[in-house]
Amino acid sequence: MKLTGSDIFIECLRKEKVEVLFGYPGGVVIPIFDKLYDAKDIRFVLTRHEQGAAHAADGYARATGKTGVCLATSGPGATNLVTGIATAYMDSIPMVAFTGQVPMSLIGTDAFQEADITGITRPITKHNFLISDTSKMVDIISEAFYIASTGRPGPVLVDLPKDVSTGMIDFEWPEKPSIPKGYKVVKYADPSVIKNAADAIKASKKPYIYTGGGIIISGAGKELVTFAERINAPVTTTLMGLGGFPGSHPLWVGMPGMHGTYTANMAFTDCDLVIAIGARFDDRVTGKIEGFAPNAKIIHIDTDPAAIAKNVKVDIAVVGDAKAILEQLLEVVKKRDRNGWNDYIDEMKTSHPVTYDKKSGTIKPQYVVEQIYEATKGDAIITTEVGQNQMWASLFYTYDKPRRFISSGGLGTMGYGFPAAIGAQMGKPDAIVFDIAGDGSIQMNIQEMATAVEQKLPVNIAILNNKFLGMVRQWQELFYGKRYSSTNIELQPDFVKLAEAYGAHGIRVDKPENVRSAIEEAISIKGPVILDFIVDREENVWPMVAPGAALSEVMEGLF
């Protein structure tokens, strides 16, 4: 059968069961868009900026566990994907990004809309490909999806020169999909390693379980609960791991790190064993390395060998899939009874709750998040932007299930939350989706309002509007003598009118008593809604561990 590269591209998407594709057309990808025009089984979502397409594919992947897919043209289309690809890379999100490229014969000539996108994205992709010949398309695309979704997932970029997508070849499906030669994924660990870990757990009087996004990626939530209950160890989940262990479980102590709970941070300082599962000891979690878990042995379970012993010294390294390793551990680990350690942790949780000033009479951002939690019964998909809004969304909403909290953890990308919410809503059409946003971040990808309206997505944006770039302002207040350099953004659009200009709904809320009813009204509206909550301008995120300080130096707000 004679097919063009673009026909084969569409067939490859079908083979990979791609239901949704986010993207933006341009010169060299017109042949592909011409085929998409007829491919009614693949829903194409036209974003209004390529960055929005990358974040939407990422949000779709995080909400569903499937691989997100985006498509952009060469040159500026491709470079506009870069922030989205880097965001997915830092958080290990399965994504395949397709970019158009100038014809092979023009590569390297500084042709119109040419950019060396495989060169540019090399450090921010798990792998990337330039397809140099139409005959290689099937193998490369199947390898791209395989690499993106297995092991420690990540974005893979595939660059498609125009002559490759227009080239015509005799086409036949290969007998089996191509798998790259040097690519290895380890699932189970050697039993001797498991025994070492089990012995360390048995010997521990103060064990502490520290989990990250790996639990969610491998779907190990059930095994984690069984394991934690078996050894009666307190559990902390990182920002990426929220929902990987139920937030309402009595063993959960909250999130660790710079804006982690008092208990989660002190537990690191006091424990004698850290059992890290699918977490990478990020600097925002560990604080000053010298003060991190000073009395503890560390067991580190991770699918990526390079994540182990990268930031901290590890006593027992266990390479493998979180779920598989937990199954192995559950076969050998014996029950551990509660002891004084558990009482100490429970007492800390009671005496150091995460809280805020509830008597101010103004709208507190934390109150808005709590009310979203109550109105959605804790079952919404929450995406966040980056900054104070992100921290309040993680501290004041309880996540009992995985894939409910979607946030740019590693890269910290402002402008992520709204397009990610669009992607999440596409993947989970029946879910209630809220983007908890700041007035700064939301303006970074506000153009996607048109996408949300066009796709009739009931995405809700809750702007915690303090007319500041709040997190930077908080640092300036605490560490730079209140010199608010370039963080006052009082000049801003009327977000209600802005929503209306796009054909969406806008609701402004400036009194605490109207918060809940506005949230409920937004949920009841079928299309996108912007909720503009006018909150306390100089509210800070507490608790906080100052940059460069040890976790034991956690500061709490005074209420």
Partner 1 sequence: MRHIISVIVENKFGVLARVSGLFSSRGYNIDSLTVGETNDPEVSRMTIVVKGDDSILDQVMKQLNKLVDVIEVVDLPREQSVRRELCLIKVNCNSGTRTEILEIANVFRAKTIHIGHTSLIIQITGTEEKINGFINLMEPFKILEVARTGVAAMQRESKEQ
Our CA dihedral for 194, 200, 202, 208, rounded to 10 degrees, sits at -100
Q: How far is the CB of 277 from partner 1 (least distance, A)?
A: 19
Residues 13 and 360: their CA atoms lie apart, in Å, by 54
**Residue 497, phi-psi category: left (phi > 0), alpha (psi -120 to 50), beta (remainder):** alpha
Residues 215 and 401: their CA atoms lie apart, in Å, by 11
Q: Are 85 and 125 in contact (CB under 8 A)?
A: yes
Residue 311 or 342 with smaller CB distance to partner 1 = 311
179 sits near partner 1 (criterion: CB under 8 A): no
Report the residue from 133, 304, 346, 477 that binds partner 1 according to the rule CB under 8 A.
304
132 sits near partner 1 (criterion: CB under 8 A): yes
Q: How far is the CB of 464 from partner 1 (least distance, A)?
A: 35
Report the residue from 34, 108, 122, 338 that binds partner 1 according to the rule CB under 8 A.
122
Report the residue from 106, 120, 309, 453 that binds partner 1 according to the rule CB under 8 A.
309
Residue 186 or 431 with smaller CB distance to partner 1 = 186
Write the CB contacts of 544 (distance below 8 Å, at least 6 apart in sequence): 258, 259, 478, 554, 555
67 sits near partner 1 (criterion: CB under 8 A): no
Residues 150 and 218: their CA atoms lie apart, in Å, by 10
Clarify whether 245 is annotated catalytic.
no
Q: How far is the CB of 157 from partner 1 (least distance, A)?
A: 12
Residue 63 or 141 with smaller CB distance to partner 1 = 141
Per CB under 8 A, which region of 91-99, 306-314, 408-416, 543-551 contacts partner 1? 306-314
Q: How far is the CB of 306 from partner 1 (least distance, A)?
A: 4
Q: How far is the CB of 483 from partner 1 (least distance, A)?
A: 32
Q: How far is the CB of 239 from partner 1 (least distance, A)?
A: 23
Per CB under 8 A, which region of 178-186, 257-265, 471-479, 523-531 contacts partner 1? 178-186
Q: At what angle do helices 262-270 and 340-351 cross, to 10 degrees?
A: 150
Q: What is the DSSP letter of 300?
A: E
Clarify whether 112 is annotated catalytic.
yes
Residue 119 or 353 with smaller CB distance to partner 1 = 119
| Cβ burial, residue 259 (10 Å; 0-12/13-18/19+) | buried
Report the residue from 14, 112, 173, 183 that binds partner 1 according to the rule CB under 8 A.
183
Residue type for 120, please? Answer: I
310 sits near partner 1 (criterion: CB under 8 A): yes
180 sits near partner 1 (criterion: CB under 8 A): yes
Do strands 168-170 and 2-4 pair parallel, antiparallel, or not at all (unpaired)?
Answer: antiparallel
Q: Which two tokens stand for residue 34?
A: 């011409």
Per CB under 8 A, which region of 36-44, 49-57, 105-113, 118-126 contacts partner 1? 118-126
Report the residue from 14, 105, 112, 119 that binds partner 1 according to the rule CB under 8 A.
119
Residues 462 and 392: their CA atoms lie apart, in Å, by 12
Report the residue from 36, 147, 345, 518 that binds partner 1 according to the rule CB under 8 A.
147
Clarify whether 471 is annotated catalytic.
yes
Q: Which of 255, 414, 426, 471 is catalytic?
A: 471
305 sits near partner 1 (criterion: CB under 8 A): yes
Residue count, binding to partner 1 (CB under 8 A)? 20
- Helix (H, G, I), strand (E, B), or coil: what is residue 404? coil
Closest by alpha carbon to 475, among 186, 181, 258, 271? Answer: 258
Clarify whether 456 is annotated catalytic.
no
Q: How far is the CB of 309 from partner 1 (least distance, A)?
A: 7
Residues 132 and 164: their CA atoms lie apart, in Å, by 7
Residue 120 or 332 with smaller CB distance to partner 1 = 120
134 sits near partner 1 (criterion: CB under 8 A): no
Report the residue from 4, 6, 83, 118 that binds partner 1 according to the rule CB under 8 A.
118
The DSSP annotation for 495-555 comes to HHHHHHHTT-EEEEE-SGGGHHHHHHHHHHSSS-EEEEEE--TT----SB--TT-BGGG-B
Q: Which of 9, 16, 35, 50 is catalytic?
A: 50
Q: Which residues ranging from 436 to 475 are in contact with partner 1 (CB under 8 A)?
A: none
Residues 37 and 464: their CA atoms lie apart, in Å, by 40
130 sits near partner 1 (criterion: CB under 8 A): yes
Residue 185 or 203 with smaller CB distance to partner 1 = 185
In terms of DSSP H, where are the helices of 352-465?
365-375, 388-395, 417-427, 449-454
Q: At what angle do helices 388-395 and 470-479 cross, to 10 degrees?
A: 100
Write the CB contacts of 263 (distance below 8 Å, at least 6 apart in sequence): 234, 253, 254, 345, 348, 349, 352
Residue 302 or 532 with smaller CB distance to partner 1 = 302
Catalytic residues: 50, 112-113, 162, 471
Residue ranges in contact with partner 1 by CB under 8 A: 118-119, 122-123, 126-127, 130, 132, 147, 180-184, 304-306, 308-310
